[in-house]
Homo-oligomer: A and B are copies of this chain.
Amino acid sequence: MSSNDILQQGADLLMLGMGSVFVFLSVLVVATTAMSWFINRWLPEVEAEPVARKPAPSTEINSKTLSIIKQAIAQHRVAKGRASAE
């Protein structure tokens, strides 16, 4: 293969590559916009979506734990406040 050939191949790759990337992502812009329009027009989620996502267990624990901590701390402070006030 001559040196020119590889330059040519590089240029071809640039054209084909950027062309494909732009065409594909442009098509995706159109398809996504159409999909969003269609769903929001014809298939809106009326209320609390029935397919409600079960939170990942750890998160669940964390949030529960956190709320408990907050409460516990609050009560602790109250208790301490009361104790020191007495």
Note all chain B residues with C-beta closer than 8 A to A57: 58, 62
Interface magnitude class on chain A: 10 to 19
What is the copy number of this chain in the assembly?
3
Q: Would A61 and B65 count as touching, CB distance under 8 A?
A: yes
B61 touching A72, Cβ below 8 Å: no
Contacts of A68 in B (CB 8 A): 65, 68-69, 72
Contact of A65 (CB < 8 Å), options: B65, B71, B76, B79 = B65
The answer on a CB contact under 8 Å between B76 and A69 is no
A6 CB to closest chain B CB (Å) equals: 46
A: residues with CB less than 8 A from B are: 57-58, 61-62, 64-65, 68-69, 71-72, 75-76, 78-79
